[in-house]
Structure 1
Amino acid sequence: MPLPTQSLRKLGFLTIGLFDEHNPRPGHESTLDVIALGEQLGFDSAWVRHRHLQYGISSPVAFLAAASQRTSRISLGTAVIPLGWENPLRLAEDLATVDILTGGRLNPGVSVGPPMRYETVKASLYPDTGDIEDFSYARVTRLLDFIRGEQAGEAATVGIEEFSDRVQPHSPGLIDRMWYGGGSTRSARWAAENRMNLLISNVVRATEVEDFAELQLALVNAYRAHHPDVGQSRVSQGLVVIPTDTATPEQRAKYEAYVEKRTPRTSTPQGPARVMFARDIIGSSAQIAEQLYNDPAFREVHEVAFALPFTFEHEDYVQILTDIATKLGPELGWKPAG
């Protein structure tokens, strides 16, 4: 999207699905209502984060199965499932099942690497194999093979029971809707070479430069340079945007305090992994659009999944999503889905 005269094709949003530890149902119900609202507003996609041993959605596939029964059009995605917590064969079964239930609307995003805080959960997660588990890209390859329909066992008839040699149900189009959450040029290149779509978020790993926009643009360029069929490739950008067009004075004050608290971490790489965070973008939709058009990575993508702040109230999400769909989206040339 090199010029403001070119339109954003797909507009989505991302939520963590925060809930109360002692009363988790209302938080889950609120997130389902937010997704249903997103469909009513014409958003193209709704994505959920994945959180283990925290107070956000821990089972996004099961959650999206519920969302599929409350929606009929909007695409439903995960951003992202950390495969270090998953058995690829079992996950392939779950993903295919939910894709069938959605009518082919599931967009699974995944990533690899050891589970976060692995030493604290290893004994519970992999009590017998914790020291030999493979958390490399091979884990993604296994998942893709099973989703593609390659052999997972041996076909057989045992008595009155029939066994397939591949994961069931098989959802043929799902393989084209698999996404990889990349935060480095290495992962962007791997996703491209393996014909996965690419999710880039407000988190990247700093290499020789410490400019977030430049680093994120490098991910897009690396992906496009190594994809065997660029015309079929998809890149979705994720940033936190908070439009205030219809916000109350109290909401604006809360939003500004939220952004101010998070801004210091965006100045330099954080921790041993040298993680860099994007600045949250707050203001009127016209102001946000201007900042986005000055973002070199945004100018190179055709779809986005704007992240909702983690700790806001339901009415805040309603205001933010409504402003994104009715004010920011049109500023970016986007038109709501029918």
Structure 2
Amino acid sequence: MLSKLGFLTIGLFDEADPRRGHESTLEIIQLGESLGFDSAWLRHRHLQFGISSPVAVLAAASQRTRRIELGTAVIPLGWENPLRLAEDLATVDLLSGGRINPGVSVGPPMQWEHVKDALYPGTADAEDFSFARVERFLAAVRGDKVTSYRGYQGFEQFSDRVQPHAAGLASRLWYGGGSLRSAQWAGAHGMNFLTSSVVKAEESEDFEQIQLSHIRAFRAAHPSGAAARVSQGLVVIPTDSASPSQIARYRAYAEKRTPRTRTPQGPARMMFAPDLVGTSAEIAEKLESNAAFREIDEVAFALPFTFDHDDYVQILTDMAGHLGPALGWKPAAG
């Protein structure tokens, strides 16, 4: 039975009017809270026309909402200084009243060969994009010592750990992984696990079975075992209250993306889950037959990248009013 319902947005904007796109994202988050969603998540895009600074957007969202949890799915740590990111996230978590759920991942930044000289001039070859970067981030958030000095210099006091320290934030850290190794690593390091509509075809070419193996491997490695938190993110588009023209666009969007779901894509052999378009009853039936979905009790359904604001309003309204209840979910009160 589904206990937590969330949604994920890229925060698309027009280069000629970026403010409107960011305002739209904030309005969608406010709508999500009013509909009873448990969480809202932001994708992270650099040098594209989606949210490049999710921490700043979450700070704004935290002041326009009071209950809904706010997450990132995910912040690529290859673009970040782990200590500085820990400071920013702790600050926003305190301002939100303890509602921030940071999701992160590692690996070289996208378009690395083109961006490395701008991002790390002179030090690109020395940067470490392994799990060690996550370990630095975890240590900073958890309040471990990050410097050998603590004390006073004149009238100024210095701490040896990240300030402010947000108690509880460490328990809300997520790792976004698409491989068996990343699932096991996240579990062994006590993180929560975000599994999305993209996985690596390592063991088979059956998306559901691959995702299921990741969930089980994560929990097998996690100190909390079967109680360890996993959130599944699929592209889900309910059409209960959609107009005929919206339904036609939604189906065309999904059909255009369907060919990539049939075989592994690229050198990394990435597998993509099909987008689910239909009435809430139809989608619920498909999800309940999904082997990975049956293993989890919380989701962050992804909103399609290129739809209009009114489309997102319709989709979220149907998710909260029809799809969620069909899966056993109850909207949060207040």
Q: Please say if 1:237 is aligned against 2:232.
A: yes
Residues 1-338 of structure 1 correspond to what in structure 2 (within 5 A)? 7-153=1-147, 154-230=149-225, 232-338=227-333
Partner of 1:4: none
Task: Report the aligned-residue RMSD.
Answer: 0.7
Inter-partner Cα distance in structure 2 for 1:39 and 1:297: 27
What's the CA shift for 1:159? 1.3
Query: One-letter code of the match for 1:146?
Result: A
Inter-partner Cα distance in structure 1 for 2:263 and 2:226: 35
What's the CA shift for 1:158? 1.1
What's the CA shift for 1:229? 1.7
CA displacement 1:96-116 (0-9 Å, x = unmatched): 000001100000000001101
Inter-partner Cα distance in structure 2 for 1:34 and 1:157: 46
Query: One-letter code of the match for 1:123?
Result: D
Inter-partner Cα distance in structure 2 for 1:188 and 1:290: 27
Inter-partner Cα distance in structure 1 for 2:252 and 2:142: 46
Query: One-letter code of the match for 1:125?
Result: L
Query: One-letter code of the match for 2:293?
Result: F
Inter-partner Cα distance in structure 2 for 1:180 and 1:65: 21
What's the CA shift for 1:156? 2.0
Q: Secondary structure at the match of 1:91?
A: helix
Would you identify which runs of 4 or more consecutive aligned residues in structure 1 move more than 6 Å?
none
Q: Secondary structure at the match of 1:222?
A: helix
Which 5+ residue runs of structure 1 have no aligned equivalent?
1-6
Inter-partner Cα distance in structure 2 for 1:91 and 1:230: 29
CA displacement 1:91-147 (0-9 Å, x = unmatched): 000010000011000000000011011110000000021001000000000000011
Query: One-letter code of the match for 1:197?
Result: N
How high is the TM-score relative to the length of structure 2?
0.98
Which 5+ residue runs of structure 2 have no aligned equivalent?
none
CA contact (8 A) 2:219 2:226 kept: no
What's the CA shift for 1:226? 1.1
Q: Secondary structure at the match of 1:69?
A: helix
Inter-partner Cα distance in structure 1 for 2:102 and 2:224: 20
Query: One-letter code of the match for 1:240?
Result: V
Query: One-letter code of the match for 2:251?
Result: E
Query: One-letter code of the match for 1:253?
Result: A
Inter-partner Cα distance in structure 2 for 1:72 and 1:231: 30
How high is the TM-score relative to the length of structure 1?
0.97
Deviates more, 1:47-56 or 1:201-210: 201-210
Q: Secondary structure at the match of 2:95?
A: helix
What's the CA shift for 1:216? 0.6
Query: One-letter code of the match for 1:28?
Result: H
Query: One-letter code of the match for 2:41?
Result: W
Inter-partner Cα distance in structure 2 for 1:109 and 1:208: 25
The number of residue pairs the alignment matches comes to: 332
CA displacement 1:268-304 (0-9 Å, x = unmatched): 1111111110000010000000000010000000100
Query: One-letter code of the match for 2:113?
Result: E
Query: One-letter code of the match for 2:183?
Result: A
Inter-partner Cα distance in structure 1 for 2:216 and 2:324: 25
Inter-partner Cα distance in structure 2 for 1:312 and 1:124: 32
What's the CA shift for 1:208? 3.1
Query: One-letter code of the match for 1:272?
Result: P
What's the CA shift for 1:231? 5.2
